Amino acid sequence: MEKLESFKNQLAFDFYNDKEKIKKKLDPNNENSEKKVQILFRNTIPEIPLTTSGTFSVYKYPAKFIPQVIAYVLKEYAKPGMKIFDPFAGSGTVGIVSRVYGYDYILWDLNPMIEVIHNTAVIKRIDTNPASIIRNIKNSDKEFVPNWSNIKYWFPEEFLSLLAKAWGVANSLTETDKYLLLIPLLKVSRFFSYSDEKVHKLYKSKHSKKKVEELLKVDWKSKFYLMLEKEMYILLRKIKEYNKLNPKQVNYQIRSGIDILETKLDDQVNILITSPPYLQAQEYIRSTKLELFWLGYDEAYIKELSKKEIPYRSVNEVNIYSDKYFKFREQIEEPHLKQLYDRYFNAILGSFSSLEENVKDYLFIFVGPAKIRTTSIPIDEILIEHLREFGWKHEITFIDKIVSRVMFESKINPASGVEDSRIKTEHLVVLKRDI
């Protein structure tokens, strides 16, 4: 107990120090200030003590925000009545945190997973008991089978009939009960597949084949129901925990399945806060394909979404106002890496140039200092230079250490072919509207 108290005091002390440093850096009289400050976001929000608190962690979406980053921004920069916008919202963390502090929000993402994750995370209360949902599945004769030509590659025949039954019920339930079942059922469906759940990408490994073989030798039906019930109880606990934070009734809009390069922001917002796709190796649609099929999306649609993913798609060239962009571009020799670099920056900078018009006050952009081959690319500085041209003033960059983030686990970086030194820090760039 004593240990815990002294640990908490230490954290409070570290945070206080950070606040003093930040003030100095923001002081306009301090001409020499480098405008970069180290921070450990996870220790800045006493009311959200853990990164996995409440429903901020109902689903392991790759490279998701920790809730404290958003909470920090809202507490330090937002004012009552402001509207918050995340155009690459992923699992919807920005929305889930905005509710806690009473802000309206807009979320966009190419991946339709955002709907189920967000809608599950913001449930107020559930009166249904997981045991009664399990009974409902056992007695049901409804069936749902995904429209997926490859389904037998990913699931043994034996499990498919049970999964079809459970999904038949999931698709027939009313709103709240449905959201108590969907994420637990997604997790259990993945476990009962040939995919290796230790890897985000859909991947059949030696380990996962063995897992299925072993499952088939035991009473897997009972195991399936037990796991599902347990996952629903875990979710119920998380929902309760989130509701203790007293989330407010706010207005919100979610647009999923949208391509940022073809979508215009119609409303005015005050704060844009986002973490754009990484420069390397993030394939969100491919890694959530199994889930999307069970949720009812069809093969052609999923393929279409895959083709729109940044940075693996062609993009129209835009004007780029950053010397650093051109300087680092010159250093890349291999044509395929140059193409990846160009596609990435044309997509990301092009999106921000078109969205910024409707942002009144602040841009907060969270990026990792990625590498191409062995060269670190200062994405944050390229963004600052480019957006300066549109009337945005760089206020500060927070440098956060990543303690444990859900990343793809390949050791070899597929873009460069060399061993990957994983990103160890991430930068939150703060830009204020100047004109």
Ligand X SMILES: C[S@@+](CC[C@H](N)C(=O)[O-])C[C@H]1O[C@@H](n2cnc3c(N)ncnc32)[C@H](O)[C@@H]1O
**Rounded (10°) angle between helices 157-170 and 220-243:** 40
Nearer to ligand X, 65 or 345 (CB): 65
Number of neighbouring beta carbons within 10 Å of residue 80: 7
Which residues form the interface with ligand X (CB under 6 A)?
61, 63-65, 88-91, 93, 109-111, 259-261, 275, 277, 284, 308-310
Q: In this structure, are residues 342 and 313 in contact, taking their beta carbons and an 8 Å threshold?
A: no
Amino acid at 47: E
The least CB distance from residue 255 to ligand X, in Å, is: 9
Nearer to ligand X, 44 or 111 (CB): 111
Identify the residue whose tokens are 């963390």.
Answer: 93
The least CB distance from residue 66 to ligand X, in Å, is: 8
Nearer to ligand X, 166 or 347 (CB): 347
The least CB distance from residue 126 to ligand X, in Å, is: 23
Strands (E) across 165-284 are located at 252-256, 269-274
Nearer to ligand X, 60 or 75 (CB): 60
The least CB distance from residue 261 to ligand X, in Å, is: 6
Q: In this structure, are residues 409 and 200 in contact, taking their beta carbons and an 8 Å threshold?
A: yes
Cα 222 versus chain centre, distance: 33
Element (H, E) at 106: strand 104-109
Compute the distance between CA of residue 24 and CA of residue 34 in angstroms, rounded to an integer. Answer: 10
Q: Could you give phi then psi for residue 39, rounded to 5 degrees?
A: -150, 150
The least CB distance from residue 352 to ligand X, in Å, is: 13
Compute the distance between CA of residue 112 and CA of residue 115 in angstroms, rounded to an integer. Answer: 6
What is the pairing mode between strands 392-401 and 425-433?
antiparallel
Nearer to ligand X, 93 or 397 (CB): 93
To 10 degrees, the CA torsion angle through 417, 419, 421, 423?
Answer: 40
Give the residue closest to ligand X by C-beta: 90
Residue 184: asked if its preceding bond is cis (omega within 30°), the reply is no
Task: Write the DSSP assignment of 145-158 as a string of letters.
Answer: ----TTHHHHS-HH
Nearer to ligand X, 148 or 312 (CB): 312
The least CB distance from residue 359 to ligand X, in Å, is: 17
The least CB distance from residue 118 to ligand X, in Å, is: 10
Compute the distance between CA of residue 66 and CA of residue 57 in angstroms, rounded to an integer. Answer: 9
Tokens of residue 135, six digits: 């009974």
Tokens of residue 130, six digits: 């997981």
Compute the distance between CA of residue 340 and CA of residue 317 in angstroms, rounded to an integer. Answer: 13
Tokens of residue 3, six digits: 């240990």
Element (H, E) at 352: helix 335-355
The least CB distance from residue 64 to ligand X, in Å, is: 3
Q: Could you give phi then psi for residue 294, rounded to 5 degrees?
A: -65, -30
The least CB distance from residue 92 to ligand X, in Å, is: 7
Q: Name, in order, each residue with C-beta under 8 angstroms of 255's C-beta and a sequence gap of 6 or more.
A: 106, 107, 108, 109, 263
The least CB distance from residue 105 to ligand X, in Å, is: 13
Nearer to ligand X, 89 or 169 (CB): 89
Nearer to ligand X, 227 or 254 (CB): 254
Nearer to ligand X, 92 or 130 (CB): 92
Nearer to ligand X, 42 or 211 (CB): 42
